[in-house]
Amino acid sequence: MVLEKLNQAEIIDLLGSIYEHSPWVAKILFSQGITSQDNDVGFLAERMKRIVDTSSEEMKLNLLQAHPELAGKLAISGNLTKDSTAEQASAGLDQCSKEEFAEFSKLNFEYTKKFGHPFIIAVKGLTRSEILTSFKQRINNDSQMEFETALREVHKIALLRLKAL
């Protein structure tokens, strides 16, 4: 697909879900102009990352808050986005035992209460055990460190989604 030939609606349709429930990233990308360089995934990922990184703290927080909990209520009820469903299933989060679901539920509650956004990690290639270990470690971070860590994870997820396109 040649991105520079697409109109705004097509760009937003194609790239609007790269950052979870945040089509504003694709809108800004389009408003800045699409060139043939954007057909390179690495270049496009860096441009989109820069848009997020230069946005306000409020916009970044909204972006983090747009992500679902891992093995959370939306996953259980089947209300995740297609991308999030596939990502969580790839790590086996859709096959948690009752004990694992209870642990994820407890950690999700504590983490969101402490940081004001859900725990975010690029789950591709990770096991449930590795995700829980990271969850337990990161919940002890301070707010600024965790905000920055969560944003880095969001960027990893975005790159993986772009590569999948």
Distance CA 47, CA 29 (A): 8
pLDDT in tens, the chain (165 residues): 799 999 999 999 999 999 999 999 999 999 999 999 999 999 999 999 999 999 999 999 999 999 888 765 545 555 557 776 677 667 677 777 888 888 988 999 999 999 999 999 998 899 889 999 999 999 999 999 999 999 999 999 999 999 999
Given 21, 67, 117, 155, which residue is catalytic?
A: 67
Q: How far is CA 87 from CA 10, 40, 62, 91, 141, in A?
A: 24, 23, 21, 7, 25
Q: Determine whether 67 is an active site residue.
A: yes
